[in-house]
Amino acid sequence: IGATPQPNTWSAPGDWPGFFAQQRIGHQLHRLRQPKVSRLWQDVLTKSNGLRQFFTDGEVKPSLLHGDLWNGNIGGSEDSSVAPAIFDPAAYYGHHEAEWGMAWCSDINEDFWRGYREFIPQAPLFERRRPLYEAYHKLNHYSLFLDSRYLDSAVSLLKQLLK
């Protein structure tokens, strides 16, 4: 995730919410030292039973994730005989939906989503937890670039999780 360290300590099997809460967003907030945002995050954790309420629609099966999938880490060619490539990973095992936390920073369009959903149908709570995955990357961008727009956007996304 750029120059930001990303902890990947092994977690108890089946505790994806705990892993994401501690080693993704919790780690970012520890680095950022933003008390108001940390309090908001604690409110999210309390209201959602440690994020578990966002994952009641099925088992989270670990998938190998790129972890930083955006336009700058995808390459291709006009020549259809050349396979596209993805590079500069921040790889870890996690919920396959976490991969789309950087979709705001890519050219993923409706055609892509239609094709993707033919293989992996949209889970009932996907749109509900999508802000969680995007907030992680917005917090990381704030850490990297210190642009308050990223922090403001992350706060807005976390507030969506309280609704």
68 is catalytic: yes
Say what angle helices 35-47 and 148-160 make with each other, to 10 degrees: 20
Contacts of residue 50, defined as CB under 8 A and 6 or more positions apart, other chains included, come to 17, 18, 21
Is the CB of residue 108 less than 8 Å from the CB of residue 74? no
DSSP reduced 3-state for 94: strand
Instruction: For residues 15 and 45, give the distance between their C-alpha atoms in angstroms, rounded to a whole number.
Output: 14
DSSP reduced 3-state for 73: helix
Is the CB of residue 157 less than 8 Å from the CB of residue 129? no
Among residues 15, 43, 57, 68, the one annotated as catalytic is 68
Is the CB of residue 140 less than 8 Å from the CB of residue 1? yes
Residues tagged active-site:
68
